[in-house]
Amino acid sequence: MIIFKKRIDISNYIVNYKKTSGKIGFIPTMGALHKGHISLIEASKKTDTLTICSIFVNPTQFNNTADFEKYPVTIEKDIDMLEKAGCNVLFLPSVEEIYPADSSTTLPYELGFIETVLDGKYRPGHFQGVCNVVQRLLDIVQPNTIYLGQKDYQQCMVIKKLTELIQSPTQIIVCPTLRESDGLAMSSRNMRLTSVERIKAIRISEVLLFIKQEIKPGNLQDLKQRCINYLTNEGYNVDYVEIADATNLILLQNWDGKTKLVALVAAFLNEVRLIDNRIVNED
Ligand code: AMP
Q: pLDDT at position 18, please?
A: 96
Q: What is d(CA 23, CA 171) in angstroms, rounded to the nearest whole number? A: 11
| Nearest atom within ligand 1 for CA of residue 150 | 12
- Pocket flag, ligand 1, residue 10 (CB < 6 Å): no
CATH for the stretch 2-175:
3.40.50.620
CB 272 within 8 A of CB 192: yes
The predicted structure's pLDDT at residue 107: 79
Please say if 37 is a catalytic residue.
Answer: yes
Nearest-CA residue for ligand 1 atom 10 is 148
Distance CA 216, CA 243 (A): 12
Write the DSSP symbol of residue 167. T
Contact 198, 190 (CB under 8 A): yes
CATH class of 188-276: alpha beta
Alpha carbons 26 and 94: distance in angstroms, whole number = 18
What pLDDT, on the 0 to 100 scale, is given for residue 104?
75
Which pairs from 212-218 meet CB under 8 Å and 24+ separation? 212/263, 212/278, 212/280, 212/281, 215/243, 215/255, 215/261, 215/280, 215/281, 216/255, 216/257, 217/255, 217/256, 217/257, 218/254, 218/255
Decide whether any atom of ligand 1 lies within 6 Å of the 44 Cβ. Answer: no
**Separation of 167 CA from ligand 1 center, angstroms?**
24
Domain with CATH 3.30.1300.10 in the chain: 188-276
Continuous segment of H or E residues that includes residue 120: helix 119-122
**Total number of residues shown for the chain:** 283
Catalytic residue among 4, 27, 33, 37: 37
In this predicted structure, what is the pLDDT of residue 282? 82
Cβ atoms of 2 and 13 within 8 Å: the answer is yes
Within the chain, which residue ranges are assigned CATH 3.40.50.620? 2-175
The structure's pTM equals 0.97
Q: Which atom of ligand 1 lies closest to the CA of 30?
A: 2
Residue-by-residue pLDDT tens, the chain, 283 positions: 999 999 999 999 999 999 999 999 999 999 999 999 999 999 999 999 999 999 999 999 998 999 999 999 999 999 999 999 999 999 999 999 999 988 877 679 999 999 999 999 999 999 999 999 999 999 999 999 999 999 999 999 999 999 999 999 999 999 999 999 999 999 999 999 999 999 999 999 999 999 999 999 999 999 999 999 999 999 999 999 999 999 999 999 999 999 999 999 999 999 999 999 999 988 7
